[in-house]
Structure 1
Amino acid sequence: MERKLYPLKFEPILKQRLWGGTKLKAVLNKNTGEASDIGESWELSGVPGDVSVVSNGFLKGNSLSELLEIYMSELVGDKVFEKYGAEFPLLIKFIDANDALSIQVHPEDELARKRHDSFGKTEMWYVMQADKGAELISGFKKDTSKDEYLKALESKELDKLLASHEVASGDVFFIPAGRVHAIGKGILLAEIQQTSDVTYRIYDFDRKDAKGNSRELHTAQALDAIDFSGGGEYKTEYTSRENEITEIVESPYFVTSLIDLKGKELKKDIYNLDSFVILICVEGEAELIYQKNQKETVTAGDTLLVPADLKEFSIKASGSCKLLEVHMPDVPKGEKSSIKGS
């Protein structure tokens, strides 16, 4: 009897960071041991050297790369596989900023391909928890010239040009490639991004690591990547509706919605998506019910990959639960990824 694909969980890939803390353990129950500087938990990754491994069911121990080789479009969808092949297109993380991250920028696809043979890095943040007064940086306050930027960078007054935003739980920020940004101290968030680990560090607040060394800056590389336009609304506004699905971000790289459940079962079908679905539990607990009443429980901090071939399922919450639902946008038939090897 053929075994069918099912909702997949993966072993978290934990990353020590200079700015990391303890919330991934305290709030999201990640097994970080005694470490007090775990800044990132990579929940679903196809990044070379950091490929996720299944933690549940009969496929336990298999890597995401192996699943793509075996199941192909059954896992990700026909058009997604046609475009990306063996490259899984998204990277899902939880980030705990016990201290501010560096001010940074990411290149768009063409520049990233040229320099790094990589995808670009467009991303979004969903704030799960924020200490009182916590802020993040997203974009310039106003249109800025390269000369203004370089002068502010040299005089260590870059913050005067950048837009700071006080944040609270539920806030969303979409960060297209090219936008200067930084996660501030005291913020725990979920990050959804293109599969890329390319970051240009602009300014690191003159910090030094445990050995007294400053981290590398990428001033010249960043200059070609930055979008110097400014102003406008950087925060993504949306209205969450209880027991409904609210789309919050639609981009060429991913579509993200918020599912806000309270004591209800929500039936889903993905016949028309031609894409996998990622469910990220950001609050509470729920059951995903599929294939003749089989169940998978998710609690805050869990991430599930629902294969494209699993066309129907439901999500049931006896109490309150919030999940981010992520899938690929419609991919034009015949479109190919331009990354080598895809």
Structure 2
Amino acid sequence: MMKLYPLKFKPIPQYRIWGGNELNEVLSEDLRMDKLGEIWSISCLDGFVSEVENGPLKGQNLKDLILKYKGELMGNKVWAKFQSEFPLLIKFIDAAEPLSVQVHPNDELAKKRHNSFGKTEMWYIIEAKEDAELIIGFQDEMTPESYQNHLENETLEKVMNKVSVEKGDVLYLPSGRVHAIGAGVILAEIQQASDITYRIYDYNRIDKDGKKRELHTELALDAIDFHPIEKIKTDYTLSNNQLENLLETPYFESKIYSGDQEIAVSSNEEMKILICTEGQLKLQTEFGGIELKKFESALIPASVKEFKIISSHATVLEVKVP
């Protein structure tokens, strides 16, 4: 069986009513579009399975590779837990206009209603305009009754917690946390492999067909965490030319590297995902190398024992499944 090597995948572009055009720079001309809201960089969701675009495995899809290589690709512990279900979805998002205010269900609710994983996620802000904001939770303690009153009176925006953001900010969004990305934000999103979203408010926006988008008011009610949030942004250390811890969650763990020197990283026989958010770099292993630039990702199979990050003023997120 062919030895595994660092894998890049063909990007999956997604039209969104609120999308911009910045992400088009990493797409071939035939994939570019107006209102490009998202690029799904690594996905195994039905209908959106990533296809390898480099090396001898070019053209094969991630689902087939998981079934063929099992623990060699995902790591024995992750394979034993998830089998053929790839546990993460990696995205880049360009919000030229505000996203809807939304919430995602937890594992239990998502399994019961949709036979799906829940959706806990993390955002890393790649670019943000000077006045860019996010909506993260509520300003004060809410109850289902007070929440519904605000919905009915169209005053929900007044009680949402708005947060100014800038490049390099990290935000943790466990399932149940109401949120929205504001206009002028480009970010990398690391999340559970789920596309279950309950839209609760959409600014009375009209879609390309002249209709208001569907809201999921009743479904959202049981999913929302109504408690205020003590700490919204994640504190972390950014050291030049070192890999530093960023965030640990039950679903994924992340680190960050920023610099311009070569560093060697052990895989510890775990699958790693590298996400380039600034500059460019080369990943070198005994089985070959690939180049990554801004808005690109790569999967390092667990069977690759060590890899080198050869950076040209790059910032990179490293992600693994605990």
Query: TM-score of the superposition, structure 1-length normalised?
Result: 0.92
Letter in structure 2 aligned against 1:289: Q
Rounded to whole Å, the distance in 1 between the matches of 2:131 and 2:216 is: 29
Q: Following the alignment from structure 2 to structure 1, what is the Cα–Cα distance between the partners of residues 28 and 225?
A: 36
Post-superposition Cα deviations, 1:75-115, rounded to whole Å, max 9, x if no partner, equal 00111001100000000000010110000000000000000
Shift of 1:310: 0.4
The secondary structure found in structure 2 opposite 1:279 is strand
Identity %: 47
Within 5 Å, which residues of 2 pair with 1:68-87?
A: 68-87=66-85
* Equivalent residue, structure 2, for 1:287: 282
Q: Does the Cα contact within 8 Å between 2:281 and 2:291 map onto a contact in 1?
A: yes
Residue 5 of structure 1 corresponds to 4
- Counterpart in the other structure of 1:60: 58
Aligned residue number for residue 263 of structure 2:
266
Q: Structure 2: how far apart are the matches of 1:70 and 1:309? A: 13
Amino acid at match of 2:281: A
Change (3 A) 1:193 1:135: same
Preserved CA contact (<8 Å) 1:134 1:186: yes
Query: Contact 1:32–1:38 at 8 Å: present in 2 too?
Result: no
Matching residue of 1:24 = 23
Shift of 1:235: 1.0
Are 1:24 and 1:30, in contact at CA under 8 Å, matched by a contact in 2? no
Aligned to 2:299: 305
Q: 1:73 to 1:218 in 2, by over 3 A?
A: same
CA distance in structure 1 between the aligned counterparts of 2:292 and 2:37, rounded to whole angstroms: 22
Output one character per residue of 1:130-170: Cα deviation in whole Å (capped at 9) or x when no partner: 11201011111222111111111111111222111111111
Q: Which runs of 4+ in 1 moved over 2 A?
A: 28-35
Distance 1:34 1:44 in 2: 18
Is it true that 1:185 corresponds to 2:183 in the alignment?
Answer: yes
Please say if residues 119 and 196 of structure 1, whose CA atoms lie closer than 8 Å, have aligned partners that are also in contact.
yes
Matches within 5 A, 1:150-169: 150-169=148-167
Q: Secondary structure at the match of 2:295?
A: coil
Gaps of 5+ in 1: 330-342
Asked if the contact 1:107–1:178 (Cα under 8 Å) also holds between the matched residues in 2, the reply is yes
Query: Is the CA contact 1:284–1:321 (under 8 Å) kept in the aligned structure 2?
Result: yes
Contact 1:143 1:231 in 2 (8 A): no
Contact 2:16–2:38 at 8 Å: present in 1 too? Answer: yes
1:328 lines up with 2:312 in the alignment: no
| Distance of 1:88 and 1:30 partners within structure 2 | 26
Q: Alpha-carbon deviation of 1:32?
A: 6.5
Matching residue of 2:34: 36
- C-alpha distance 79-266 of structure 1, shift in aligned 2 (>3 A): same
After superposition, what is the alpha-carbon deviation per residue over 1:119-140, rounded to whole angstroms, capped at 9, x for unaligned? Answer: 0000000010011201011111
> Is the CA contact 1:139–1:163 (under 8 Å) kept in the aligned structure 2?
yes
Check the 8 A contact 2:6/2:289 in 1, yes or no: no
Deviation at 1:34, TM superposition (A): 5.7
Structure 1 Cα separation of the partners of residues 163 and 296 of structure 2:
27
Query: Which structure 2 residues correspond to residues 79-228 of structure 1 after superposition, within 5 A?
Result: 79-228=77-226
The Cα shift of 1:31 comes to 4.4
Letter in 1 for 2:266: D
1:270-303 Cα offsets, whole Å, 9 max, x none, are: 22xx4210000000111111106x3211111110
Distance 1:288 1:225 in 2: 40
User: d(CA) in 2 for partners of 1:34 and 1:308?
Assistant: 33
- Residues 172 and 218 of structure 1: is their aligned pair in 2 closer, same or farther, counting only changes over 3 Å? same
**Distance in 1 between residues matched to 2:257 and 2:222, nearest whole Å:** 38
User: Would you say the 8 A contact 1:123–1:175 is kept in 2?
Assistant: yes
SS at match of 1:144: coil
Q: Residue 276 of structure 1 is aligned with which of 267, 271, 280?
A: 271
Question: What is the alpha-carbon root mean square deviation over aligned residues?
Answer: 1.3
Using structure 2 for the length normalisation, give the TM-score.
Answer: 0.97
